Structure 1
Amino acid sequence: MFQSRSERMKTFFRQWQLQSMVVPGIVWMFLFCYIPMFWLIIGFMDYSIAKPMLESPFVGLKHFQEFISDDRFWRSIRNTLGMSSIKLMLGFPIPILFALLLNEIRNIRFKRTVQTISYLPHFIAWTIFGGIMLNWLGEGGVINQVMIALGIQDREILFNSDPKYFWWITYFSDTLKETGWSAIIYIAAISGIDPGLYEAAELDGANRWQRMWHITVQCIRPTIAILFILAVSGMLGSNFEQIFMLKNNMNMKMAESLDLYIYNMGLVSGRHSFSTAVLFARSIVALALLFLANYTSKKLSGEGIF
């Protein structure tokens, strides 16, 4: 039953210590997410850091027209969608499978050890983890040695210098680094499932795989749907730190994502208004993807964010 307004207020004041814990998050979001939105107006100006923002001339959609006609922009869109699609189709299910398999481990000590080891890479900065990946991918690196030992290739390959491997390198490195951390939310959802459901299914003769599919997966389906919607809405974003560490002049035509394009235009080339216009357009498309993914999810599974 829904609480009345007076009941909600009583609950709020009764739990004011807990309620106050969200204040730092609200302040952080306001300072770093909402206030900076005011500066999006420079995307419609010829902004110069040498004079106050509001004194910059208004140019309308000039910068939007410029990036739409820029071949480099469309190349960055292709690269971003290519890397995001691989991560979405092949990378999104991996934390789910990992959480499901981890849930089936009966040895608690071993289970906790595996979980701890799996999410430790998340805490390694990309400046370090990227260097490790470059070492593994180099001539004489671990990956070349393993591939040669298995007979998959007969010579050493400098993977990070060949553009055709770059999308797969980003997928492999991101999966290796983030699978354990991404699985935590699924593990938390699984822990909330009523154990009585498993006991009843076991009495009915369901084996472990059947219990996993018909109980565990079905109970965490809302969590999967919400995270999938967020993943789709973020397809035009990319892990900037990862790409910045792994890119080089030889693989740049496949490595320059939309985030890297905005960085190069805004900070490297000093075209602040141009890069802001690109960022603004990307945000609009991301919002549209969010609504589209939410609508599709509700139609197919009945689950959505709103």
Structure 2
Amino acid sequence: MEIVVITGMSGAGKSQAMKVMEDMGYYCMDNLPPQLLSKFAELTYKSTKHIEKACVVVDIRGGEFFKSLYEELEKLSDMQIDYKIVFLDASDEVLIKRFKELRRPHPLNANGSIIDGIKEEREILNDIKSKADYIIDTSKLNLGMLKAEMTNIFIKGEKREKITILISSFGFKNGILLDADMVFDVRFIPNPYYIPELKEHSGKEKIVRDYVFKWPQTNTFLLKTLDLIEFLIPHYIDEGKSQLVIGIGCTGGKHRSVAIAEELANELSKKGHSTMLFHRDFQ
């Protein structure tokens, strides 16, 4: 029997992740009191429905009982039940925004500030995060991206390096990409915007990509950038980073940055990296 334990920060998307697991055929239960985990596993295993795959969401909503989670996980091991821990996280800024949009208080600080609740929760969850098999940062993920991440893990069975590379194009005229770990400025490449027959097209289209990549400096830039990213990935992993955000910027975020972001994401995917692509200023 296999059990997936989803935990993590409040507001990071645990309920959405559980729905994805349900769509993948897992028997799911949300907000399971931690002290009932082994009992749930036992009942599920003995069920007449012959349930082989189950998923539970366990988090600080369990209050003081959350401390019993570690003991319950040991019981699962004693029962020879295979379990995996998925920890969902997001930046403080994103979590605050989500709580404000939903007009919900933080569960650890219902009458106080959201940021104080987030800080306290991080301290409580620090140990379980270090024991997680998979850490998914949902700061930049929509539901489709989250589903792709979990599908890669639990259906495709891909060996994960525990880091996701998110490539985002953007236009400097609309402001720099604030949450990027690395930003590359590609305005040194001739601008298709000034070519009448290319102006209304985008970097997603072959006619623009061919123009952008006909310049030797574009191809040299791509090769050197790939080498740099490949060099940095294992070091970021060693530092515990679960998501690497790379910004590719041009003037308007429609031509050069889009074309290069598309190609960069494609090449990293070919090398076996978990890669996602996002165009901030162009859809």
* TM-score w.r.t. length of structure 1: 0.24
Greater strand percent: which structure? 2
- Larger Rg computed on CA atoms: 1
